[in-house]
């Protein structure tokens, strides 16, 4: 096969055969196909798209480019959740212990924050001592002991994606539905799970800016996962305003611990509990959505979910006492409220502006190798529909530098829109996509 002929075939809008895709992905992973040819191929895919069959083949090839986690020692149903990323999205920290308390195992391989979207690993690393770099053996041992474990992608897991994602990042080829699907699913399916629930976010603070794109991505992912024999469902959730009341790292850990003890913000709990309920239904751990929700609430009310999270933290080398005594978590030296410029009703809270402000404060990353400041962030976020008085705080900034604080305030100047009209926020969960709806 000749690489440029395969690129030309895709450039001209033709479907690639499994053999051609295999030649390309294997060649790229082992270095036979150089970056410039893969970049041209990614751009051809970006413009021409891929059929569902091509996307499934690409996913499988990328998954098989490296090791698969051997979770066969775990007899419980293995299920995970993946979010396409958002601002204030701390759902994983609640969901993993909740699901572990409900008789499933959650082998979660998470990512770091990039751009305006936060990352579970950065949040977890704000807990003193917490290790996200467990070996596969340690990962499986933690899972066996407490039913959930959370680590980062190892070098051996889906290496084709690791290489291709870095290339897409610098060649303008990230927002392609087949490439995003293959990237996400190659990593998730390598975890050795039986089922996966996706949280596909749409809106100003999400990858997918339009609802239609989010729908297409959700359908594609559900199709590919189902084709590979996994139980699948996808929620499409709003990311126009941040999720919950905080954005950052240690501030989100604190919000999550409060939520695990029954004091969660309504939007955060709605998304978390619906994702968990769908996971329980997929894994046949509940007979109905109502029964699933009751089971989950009981794990919060009894303190079991909070205790399970602490157990996981301890097993992964972290200090569980920091989850009761927040002073042990990283904090910022300055806390400053951001006052409302006028009285009225909050019409909009831009997740994008809040995400950018967190990055500027040092809590997020502009480049993959940037270091994050775990103590900075934003708390007490106002929500769409709230009535506010002039000078009432709309949010609180946590900063470690005057310059960064000033820049974050500039970015937030227009983030909260206040008007006179009462607002009914859009539904947070607009749709749940399941395989039978999948085309």
Where along the sequence are the contacts to ligand URA (CB under 6 A)?
84, 165, 174, 179-180, 183-184
Sign (positive/negative) of CA torsion 171, 172, 176, 181? positive
Question: Closer CB to ligand URA, residue 174 or residue 429?
Answer: 174
First to last CA, the chain: 32
Residue 110 tokens, joined: 């998470």
Pick the catalytic residue: 10, 78, 81, 82?
82
Q: Is residue 187 annotated as a catalytic residue, yes or no? A: yes
Give dist(CA 54, CA 176) in Å, integer. 14
Residue 153 CB, shortest distance to ligand URA, in Å, is: 9
Q: Is residue 213 annotated as a catalytic residue, yes or no? A: no
- Cα torsion through 401, 404, 405, 407, rounded to 10: 160
- Candidates 322, 296, 320, 247; CA nearest to 101 is 296
Question: Closer CB to ligand URA, residue 174 or residue 417?
Answer: 174
Backbone angles phi, psi at 235, to 5 degrees: -95, 140
Sign (positive/negative) of CA torsion 156, 29, 219, 72? negative
Question: Closer CB to ligand URA, residue 82 or residue 310?
Answer: 82
Pick the catalytic residue: 183, 186, 246, 250?
183
Cβ neighbours around 238 below 10 Å, total = 25
Question: Closer CB to ligand URA, residue 178 or residue 330?
Answer: 178
Question: Closer CB to ligand URA, residue 82 or residue 308?
Answer: 82
Give dist(CA 252, CA 117) in Å, integer. 13
- Candidates 175, 179, 185, 295; CA nearest to 232 is 185
Residue 161 CB, shortest distance to ligand URA, in Å, is: 7
Pick the catalytic residue: 78, 168, 188, 398?
168
Give dist(CA 203, CA 86) in Å, integer. 9
Token pair 């069959």: residue: 53
Q: Cβ-closest residue to ligand URA?
A: 183
Question: Closer CB to ligand URA, residue 117 or residue 285?
Answer: 117
Pick the catalytic residue: 187, 230, 374, 398?
187
- Candidates 261, 263, 229; CA nearest to 246 is 263
Give dist(CA 320, CA 191) in Å, integer. 26
Residue 89 CB, shortest distance to ligand URA, in Å, is: 13
Residue 163 CB, shortest distance to ligand URA, in Å, is: 13
Question: Closer CB to ligand URA, residue 128 or residue 175?
Answer: 175
Question: Closer CB to ligand URA, residue 29 or residue 183?
Answer: 183
Residue 360 CB, shortest distance to ligand URA, in Å, is: 22
Which residues, 6+ apart, have CB-to-CB distance to 208 below 8 Å?
84, 200, 201, 202, 214, 217
Q: Is residue 168 annotated as a catalytic residue, yes or no? A: yes
The C-alpha angle 195, 351, 297, rounded to 5 degrees, equals 45
Give dist(CA 280, CA 296) in Å, integer. 10
Token pair 């019409």: residue: 347
Residue 154 CB, shortest distance to ligand URA, in Å, is: 15
Residue 38 CB, shortest distance to ligand URA, in Å, is: 14
Cβ neighbours around 182 below 10 Å, total = 32
Pick the catalytic residue: 89, 122, 161, 199?
161
- Cα torsion through 167, 171, 177, 181, rounded to 10: 10
- C-alpha separations of 403 from 240, 289, 360 in Å: 27, 49, 10
Question: Closer CB to ligand URA, residue 166 or residue 387?
Answer: 166
Residue 379 tokens, joined: 């708390």
Give dist(CA 286, CA 2) in Å, integer. 52
Longest dimension (CA), the chain: 68
Residue 84 CB, shortest distance to ligand URA, in Å, is: 6
Residue 272 CB, shortest distance to ligand URA, in Å, is: 20
**Catalytic residue set:** 82, 161, 168, 183, 187
């Amino acid at each position: 096969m000749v690489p440029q002929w395969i690129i030309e075939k895709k450039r001209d809008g033709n479907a690639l055969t499994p053999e051609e895709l295999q030649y390309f992905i294997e060649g790229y992973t082992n270095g036979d196909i150089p970056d410039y040819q893969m970049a041209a191929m990614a751009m051809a895919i970006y413009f021409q798209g891929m059929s569902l069959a091509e996307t499934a083949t690409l996913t499988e090839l990328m998954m098989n480019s490296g090791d698969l986690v051997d979770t066969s020692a775990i007899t419980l149903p293995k299920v995970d959740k993946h979010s396409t990323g958002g601002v204030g999205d701390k759902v994983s920290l609640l969901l993993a212990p909740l699901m572990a308390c409900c008789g499933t195992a959650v082998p979660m391989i998470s990512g770091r924050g990039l751009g305006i979207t936060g990352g579970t690993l950065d949040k977890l690393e704000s807990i003193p001592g917490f290790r996200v770099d467990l070996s596969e053996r340690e990962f499986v041992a933690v899972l066996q002991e407490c039913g959930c474990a959370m680590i980062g992608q190892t070098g051996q897991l889906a290496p084709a994606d690791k290489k291709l994602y870095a290339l897409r990042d610098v060649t303008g080829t990230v927002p392609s539905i087949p490439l995003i699907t293959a990237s996400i699913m190659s990593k998730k399916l390598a975890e050795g799970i039986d089922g996966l629930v996706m949280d596909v976010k749409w809106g100003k603070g999400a990858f997918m800016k339009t609802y239609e794109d989010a729908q297409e991505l959700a359908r594609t992912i559900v199709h590919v996962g189902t084709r590979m024999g996994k139980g699948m469902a996808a929620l499409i959730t709003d990311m126009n305003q941040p999720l919950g009341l905080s954005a950052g790292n240690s501030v989100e850990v604190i919000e999550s611990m409060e939520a695990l003890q029954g004091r969660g913000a309504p939007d955060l709990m709605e998304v978390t509990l619906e994702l968990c309920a769908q996971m329980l239904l997929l894994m046949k751990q509940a007979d109905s959505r109502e029964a699933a929700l009751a089971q989950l609430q009981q794990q919060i009310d009894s303190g079991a979910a909070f205790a399970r999270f602490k157990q996981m933290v301890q097993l992964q080398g972290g200090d569980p006492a920091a989850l009761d005594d927040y002073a042990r978590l990283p904090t910022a030296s300055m806390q400053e409220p951001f006052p409302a410029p006028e009285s009225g009703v909050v019409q909009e809270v831009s997740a994008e502006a809040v995400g950018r402000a967190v990055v500027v404060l040092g809590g997020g990353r502009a480049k993959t190798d940037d270091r994050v400041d775990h103590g900075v962030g934003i708390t007490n976020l106002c929500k769409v529909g709230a009535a506010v008085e002039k000078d009432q705080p709309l949010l609180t900034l946590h900063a470690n530098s005057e310059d960064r604080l000033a820049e974050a305030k500039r970015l937030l100047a227009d983030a909260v829109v206040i008007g006179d009209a009462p607002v009914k926020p859009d539904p947070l969960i607009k749709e749940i996509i399941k395989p039978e709806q999948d085309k």
